[in-house]
Chain A
Amino acid sequence: GAGVSQSPSNKVTEKGKDVELRCDPISGHTALYWYRQSLGQGLEFLIYFQGNSAPDKSGLPSDRFSAERTGGSVSTLTIQRTQQEDSAVYLCASSTLLGGEGTQYFGPGTRLLVL
């Protein structure tokens, strides 16, 4: 079956420009997560959407970062006025809320390079 997809796979942008990253979760998964993976680092939680509830934005590093999830499915992560330190791999994951372990399934990521 189809897994989590993300686009674009790679994005090179200039400092100060805005970028939009897209995530298509697994059909039927009500929970969606964004993480950031910097070079040689673990994954840093950014934001979590659960159904129609207000998202948990506690991991967003600054107000330049925002995300939305339309229709309970596709999500877009927007970074405004990009900085070089925003360069990282941005990973999206989705899960069901059925059962306890709520396994998160990850997409392949978007590799963002800010010049």
Chain B
Amino acid sequence: GEDVEQSLFLSVREGDSSVINCTYTDSSSTYLYWYKQEPGAGLQLLTYIFSNMDMKQDQRLTVLLNKKDKHLSLRIADTQTGDSAIYFCAEKKRAGSARQLTFGSGTQLTVLP
């Protein structure tokens, strides 16, 4: 199975909150990331959280990290149609020389008017 798991689809109404969930398996992960990919585009970094933090807030985005359960979530408040995209969770497994990220398969967020 995948190291990083996400549900494939999420639909919300415009103005509601969206919560995208992610589970990872490597307890030594140092940083966890959320990237956004719009159709036909590359990945855009939304936010990241260091593993010794529980929460990080940035405007409409709130990241929650439960290290015990290896669970990461991204909450988007007041979701807009422009938030429709694929959201990827990623982990950096350890500090040092191994710097590549391990990505989940992405969650397709659809915002309905």
A: residues with CB less than 8 A from B are 4, 31, 33, 35, 40-43, 45, 48, 50, 56, 59, 91, 93, 95, 97, 100-109
If A42-B2, A100-B50 touch, does A95 touch B42 (CB 8 Å cutoff)?
A: no
Contact A42–B88 (Cβ < 8 Å): yes
Q: How large is the interface on B (under 10, 10 to 19, 20 to 34, 35 or more residues)?
A: 20 to 34
Please name 30 pairs of A and B residues whose Cβ atoms are closer than 8 Å in the assembled complex, sorted by A: A4-B42, A33-B99, A41-B105, A42-B2, A42-B4, A42-B104, A43-B90, A43-B101, A45-B100, A45-B101, A48-B99, A48-B100, A50-B97, A56-B98, A59-B100, A91-B42, A91-B43, A100-B31, A101-B50, A102-B31, A102-B99, A103-B45, A104-B45, A106-B42, A106-B43, A106-B44, A106-B45, A108-B41, A108-B42, A109-B42
Contact A31–B99 (Cβ < 8 Å): yes
Q: What are the residues of chain A within 8 A of B101 when measuring CB–CB?
A: 33, 43, 45, 104
Contact partner of B100 (CB less than 8 A), chosen from A4, A33, A41, A105, is A33
Instruction: Report B72-113 CB contacts with A as 1/0, cut-off 8 Å.
Output: 000000000000000010101001011111111110000000
Q: What are the residues of chain B within 8 A of A106 when measuring CB–CB?
A: 35, 42-45
Contact A95–B43 (Cβ < 8 Å): no
What's the least CB distance linking B71 to chain A, in Å? Answer: 18
